A and B are shown apart, each in its own frame.
Chain A
């Protein structure tokens, strides 16, 4: 601990990151690895095995203290129960009793079809599939991890929910994304209420230079929203994942956030 009381590392931790193959999740993996003490494990999940391995290559060798970081790539589709089960198995094998921190980053997510308005969503299967990946899988994964690694003295448990302004504010032509994000925020608020010993961070990373943002600014049906996103891009207001991730790590290390509350990058 530094003299200000803020930690300088995340301890000997089991860190699990979903959507770790690209975008924000990939950068989180890299930042995390620099803050994990020897004896830690980093479990990276996403659908693409190849992309995960590339992400893992960026990470290995970067562990704080120069080594002793186990990196596990778990290519799974979290919208299916097999995917969650398989990831959980990897989590269990990576966990050791001398770890002092388990940290789950629920980052995997998708935009849904933003080129259409609400009146076109007559296909229940499409909505079900979206909610399965963006809401249900993060609930079941979080529940499974907390059940598998229960509370014990000397163990910190942290759950991160990568959220968005869309959790709080409706956006035209983004019904699935807004609905999923609002659902997740409430879900993690319930967790924070139920389990005061679990630190729950709903972090809103801001507009990032990712594939998701490229999709957003090029495919959004609502003309005003599309324009404001492409203006943001043209005016250099889009953040790098590195910038946003740095802020998120600061919040995690300071550990002063109110569990379950919405923390926006612009307020850090």
Chain B
């Protein structure tokens, strides 16, 4: 069975939805001595998740840390990097960073986006934070022989396709897609994947339904998480590629 070796895996937005499902799926692929860093704002939800993983993680000798921080702040990003650095003392052969944390933003007609502070706040959480965190973790675990490095950008079809009233979300997803493409160009030893998970049964989709009245046929998070993990194990894509759940 393919594994992520003795690795350190960082998942942002791990408390709910897709991030939470990923925590479960990824943990099955981590070998003893691996470290799982779960990052989100809610300490309570993270603790619940840690407990869910408990019997499995104990058996598997997985170290699980809950990092309850706000990634839209410099302090939140720095704290995550600090804890990763603490764990860097152990010998690992794989780093897996999953940039999953994200938000929908306001869904509204273009001409309503006149508030610079609001737009900046949205871009800070959804774009700047992912860049600063990725850069920080890269500095903690510089590329070296024998170290496999994977970065995942949880993306969306709306990184590619413009959707009326969704200017914030589309703009941030398009920004991230390019950002991670630059990473792939700059760092040939890092395997970068932008993964569009499809519409899943998450709170974000509930918000979408409430705000737009649009109901999609929803995937269980777990199904999409399984697919992402398989893509990572198969490792059969060029770095920087954008892949969608429905096309693989």
| Same complex | yes
In the docked arrangement, what's the CA distance between A170 and B110, Å? 27
Cβ contacts under 8 Å, A120 to chain B: 135
In the docked arrangement, what's the CA distance between A189 and B35, Å? 42
Kindly provide the distance from the CB of B123 to the nearest chain A CB, expressed in whole angstroms. 5
Q: Write the B87-120 contact mask toward A (1 if CB under 8 angstroms, else 0).
A: 0000000000000000000000111111111011
Size class of the B contact interface (CB-based, 8 Å): 35 or more
Cβ contacts under 8 Å, B184 to chain A: 170
| Residue B44 lies at the interface, judged by CB distance under 8 Å to chain A | no
The number of inter-chain residue pairs (CB within 8 angstroms) is: 170
Task: Assess whether A139 is in contact with B119, with CB atoms less than 8 Å apart.
Answer: yes
Size class of the A contact interface (CB-based, 8 Å): 35 or more
Task: Assess whether A171 is in contact with B127, with CB atoms less than 8 Å apart.
Answer: no
Interface residues of B in 170-226 (CB under 8 A from A): 170-179, 181-187
Task: Assess whether A121 is in contact with B135, with CB atoms less than 8 Å apart.
Answer: yes
Task: Assess whether B114 is in contact with A118, with CB atoms less than 8 Å apart.
Answer: no
| Residue B163 lies at the interface, judged by CB distance under 8 Å to chain A | yes
Query: What's the dominant secondary structure at chain B's contact region?
Result: helix
Cβ contacts under 8 Å, B131 to chain A: 118, 121, 127, 175, 179
Interface residues of A in 165-188 (CB under 8 A from B): 167, 170-175, 178-187
| Residue B60 lies at the interface, judged by CB distance under 8 Å to chain A | no
Q: Write the B142-186 contact mask toward A (1 if CB under 8 angstroms, else 0).
A: 000000000000000001001111110011111111110111111
Kindly provide the distance from the CB of A140 to the nearest chain B CB, expressed in whole angstroms. 5
In the docked arrangement, what's the CA distance between A143 and B118, Å? 13
Cβ contacts under 8 Å, A124 to chain B: 73-74, 77, 124, 128-129, 132
Cβ contacts under 8 Å, B240 to chain A: 170
11 contacts between A and B (CB under 8 A): A124-B73, A124-B129, A127-B128, A131-B123, A132-B116, A136-B120, A173-B186, A175-B179, A183-B172, A189-B170, A190-B167
